[in-house]
Amino acid sequence: MNIIKQLKVEYIGLASRTLETILLTNEKKQQKVVYLFNYEGLHFRIFESFIEVSNFFNNEPYKILKDYSIERFVDKYLEKYQFVS
């Protein structure tokens, strides 16, 4: 199971919209930074890079790792995120 550490929270426009920078660490001590956009606690998008976040906000093509409407599923996904060797 991965260790999840929130590094930074940025409020986007309203306090109910945030971009979290999250550090994941697995049992082999590998680390990965991911970005979580929380839209009013109703919609959560996980991005693998800040470039993808930027593309999302600039209405350019982007790729997300996962898209959820329930926060506990976000946590479960991050806990089990598989690092690429």
What the block records as the tokens of 83 is: 């690092």
Q: Is residue 85 part of a domain?
A: no
Number of CB atoms found within 10 A of residue 46's CB: 20
pLDDT of 76 reads: 96
pLDDT of 62 reads: 94
Domain tally, the chain: 1
pLDDT in tens, the chain (85 residues): 999 999 999 999 877 899 999 999 999 999 999 999 999 999 999 999 999 999 999 999 999 999 999 999 999 999 999 998 6
pLDDT of 43 reads: 95
Residue 54: domain span: 3-80
> How far apart (Å, rounded) are the C-alpha atoms in residues 83 and 62?
20
Question: Do residues 21 and 4 touch, judged by C-beta distance below 8 A?
Answer: no
